[in-house]
Structure 1
Amino acid sequence: MQTENRFFDDLAKFINGAAGTLAGMGREAEAAARERTKEWIGGLDFVSRDEFDAVKAMAAAARDEGDALKARVAALEAALAASATAEPAPRKTKK
């Protein structure tokens, strides 16, 4: 035979309600902490992966262009040095 004890039923309902409330508060606290963290990190000077990769690609292209320009200057300097050491062509004089 089962006895009905209203006190234990009410206590169980109260504990279940408190547990649900605490779980909801925990979820809200986690969401708020997550949002604050996003705001804090967003305020820092971080760049996204896409921006980083774009700048990295531009730097590589600029480096390649710089190397090509160095090679071109070296070739022009070599040609200038070769023409300076060669005998100058005789000048035509007016009569």
Structure 2
Amino acid sequence: MQSQNPFLDELAKMTTSAMSLAQAAGEEAKTAFRSQADRFVADMDLVRREELDALKAEIADLRAQVVALSGKPKGKGVKPDVDLPVDET
């Protein structure tokens, strides 16, 4: 449905342009925020979950080897020589 009034046509064009401009600005802001967040995480030097799980498994294997080599039974009454964090999962 077209109107005969040129003022309304121009208003519709300006509204459409403003909406597309706002959408483009929103996308630009989203991209900038994501970029800054990625940079922040990289600067924090965080560890990925897969790396942490692999390291926990390796530590559990090493603890089992230490217990096997030392010949000491593993129990609640035995205190380890070194204070290491225990994984309760």
Shorter-chain TM-score range: 0.7 to 0.9
1:23 aligns with 2:23: yes
3-state SS, counterpart of residue 71 of structure 2 = helix
**C-alpha distance in 2, partners of 1:32/1:54?**
33
SS at match of 1:34: helix
Distance across 2 between alignment mates of 1:41 and 1:59? 26
Structure 2 unmatched ranges of 5 or more: 73-89
TM-score in terms of structure 2 length: 0.72
Partner of 1:68: 68
SS in structure 1 opposite 2:45?
Answer: coil
Q: Of the two, which has the highest radius of gyration?
A: 1
Segments of structure 1 that go 5 or more residues without pairing to the other structure are: 73-95
Taking CA–CA contacts closer than 8 Å with sequence separation of 6 or more, which of the two structures ends up with the larger relative contact order?
2
Alpha-carbon RMSD across the aligned residues, in angstroms, is 1.7
- Percent sequence identity is 35
The equivalent residue for 1:4 is 4
Counterpart CA distance in 2 for 1:45 and 1:14 is 47
Distance verdict in 2 for CA 1:32–1:3, change over 3 Å: closer
